[in-house]
Amino acid sequence: MSSRTVFLARLSGLFLVLMSLSLMANKAATLEAVTAVVHQPSLLLMFGMIGLPAGLAMVIAHNIWSGGATPVVVTILGWLLLAKSLICLIVPEGAMIRLYELVRFPDFFYGFIGVYLLIGFYLAYSSLHPSPAAKSVAAH
């Protein structure tokens, strides 16, 4: 794995783990905040404006679709962040509310957050303990 992949996997993994645990520990506040954001176009705009450069940076700096699972997961996270940011910037308020209702985030709260937590643990672990194959690729 390249040093860039290790850095982004460690950063993203630790961020996802810490945020997931925090969100789970504060479920009521999290649901209130997410619902408020979805209903406020100005907040969606701000989240889109903040996330867009981060998503672009990850996609530009790490668009790697081979070399094992970790580099691909990091690349997918970058693309998802970019897509989420564009959705926040482009999708009209009414459509965003319908999308939020469609995914039933409050009903599947622990499922959604659990996926983030598992991805975070995987990335954090894989960045600290690269496989022997990844070590040999990085050496060349």
The answer to whether residues 81 and 58 touch, using CB atoms and an 8 Å cutoff, is: yes
Name the token pair of 24. 């789970």
Task: Please count the residues of the chain.
Answer: 140
The answer to whether residues 78 and 59 touch, using CB atoms and an 8 Å cutoff, is: yes
Among the listed residues 79, 83, 62, 57, the one whose alpha carbon sits nearest the alpha carbon of residue 1 = 62
Q: In Å, what is the CA distance from 1 to each residue of 8, 26, 90, 140? A: 11, 35, 35, 10
pLDDT in tens, 79-125: 999 999 999 999 998 999 999 999 999 999 999 999 999 999 999 99
pLDDT in tens, 2-33: 999 999 999 999 999 999 999 999 999 999 99
Report helix angle 27-38 to 109-128, nearest 10. Answer: 100
pLDDT in tens, 40-57: 999 999 999 999 999 999
- The model's pTM is 0.86
Q: In Å, what is the CA distance from 69 to each residue of 29, 81, 134? A: 34, 18, 10
The full set of domain ranges for the chain reads 3-128
